Structure 1
Amino acid sequence: MAKIFITGIAGGFGLPTARALMEQGHQVAGSVRSRTGRKADIVAALEADGAQIIEMDVTDAASTEAGVADAIAALGGLDVLFNNAGIGAYGIQELMSPEDMTRVFDVNVTGVQRIMRAALPHFRAQGRGTILYTSSLIGRIATPFYGTYSASKWALEAMVECYRTELSDFGIESCIIEPGAMPTAFFDGMVTPQDPMRETEYGDFAVVPALSAQALAQMLEATPDQRPERIAEAVAALLAVPFGQKPFRTVVDHTGVGPEIERYNTALHDVTYTVLSNFGIADMLRLNA
């Protein structure tokens, strides 16, 4: 059984994943920004189930260093890191302030980098590890009103592409999980633009984001298979695959978009393999099927 650290354990994907992994006998630790906030009841329930809860802010380097160290100490080691903490953003792109964008990137991109810098010395020292990342289908394509969020996930995907190759010689495998839209509390915490004067310049179009969000909610309500539990199942399935044979990207979607993203991922894999082969470094892709 593995020793697993999940960032954002009390969130929409983290919670069902933690429960599923603990049911399988894995040791699980997870991060929350605060034990006493609005998720205090969830934190208490996770601890009652056997999870080790670590207070950690992914936007603070000292907090992440201490948090990862605390997780390793609580678990007595670390085999798997699941970079799951994230924040969403929704709205007309022009209306997003630079501060809005910075906030999203600070969690979804730089936050992951802080965690990696804290955890990688441990993984390199033991010569083995598995790192999972929560991305998104719109980390592969861009759709209206998700520009800031998509940009952060595109950036994450690029960063992980590099980690995948640069960590392979150290026995550290990398796996990206790409969910479609899911009905989670993630939508409640979205960063949304606050620029009413500029918004008026969009006229009637300014109401389209709200209408689009309403249509998405209705579609998700009508698609019962599109639930966060599918992410938990995907993570458990990945961890059951022998080391070095896991797919680099796993699409989790029941809305009909998934097959198109998988087609894109296959094409990108072929391009990546060819380019790295031309440079004589295709062996750096060896830790993924």
Structure 2
Amino acid sequence: MQYNKKARSLAVAALLIIGITVTPPVEADHPLSVMLNGQQLKSQFEVNDGEVYAPLLPLAAELGYTVNWNKQDDRIDILTDSARANRNQLEAKITKQQVADWILEQGELDRYYVEGLSFELVDLDDDGEAEIVAAIDSGVHVGNYFIFNRDADGHYQLIFETNWKVDSLKLGEPIHIEDKRLYATFEQAGGTGLDVEVAHLWYIEQGQVVEAWKGTMKEMNAMLAGSYSLAVGSYRVEDNVLYVWNTLSLLEDDAETVRGTPVTTLTTFTFDGTSFKE
């Protein structure tokens, strides 16, 4: 993998950064131990062409450092305790008013109901930088959804905006597929006599939000007497295949009693590297 190659090539530089020095030459088959402040390190060291190498991730973890692979910039970031603390302090200082100001400055609309704003900080792409996921609840089935990404200068830039109304910003654990981290957001939609929940599976790539799939998880249709129905569904991802099942029930006009036998269908979608295709 590209990540492992880069991690290995930076190992010597990492040893110098963290203050470990080893004097070559050392024979390749010679047992090698490395001491730091009189304590032997547990990480495995090897010699190649007179240079001493160590796996970057285990070594950094042993020394209390954080190593992040920034796929977007093709970069490995090593964070010291002080740098991580400073970053956490900056993120902790982000306020609702700041996020509201960024939405008003960068958003597509002239006005937003910022009184209904909520936000979360989440490292969506595992690059060590927290993105901002924000939502505005403007009323029944009316809302906005935003994602901000922090640029190299530390400024948050709006990279995604849509009119999804969501009940919760909690994304849950991502779905890992190939080199992507997919998240699920559930949109609440509908109108008079119609209540719909739509699932969106999306990920961040090269600073942009990509929607991999969307599908209806619930549709309560009570618009016309004699044609009430309820469709409910769910999904699961296994081995790059998305399994989606949906059960349709016809209802009496009390919107509760089922008429006839519910019908369940299963549809499969295969991930093509960008999105799920049927």
How high is the TM-score relative to the length of structure 1?
A: 0.23
Structure of greater Rg = 2
Query: RCO higher in 1 or 2 (8 Å CA, sep ≥ 6)?
Result: 1
Which has more strand, going by share of residues? 2
How high is the TM-score relative to the length of structure 2?
A: 0.24
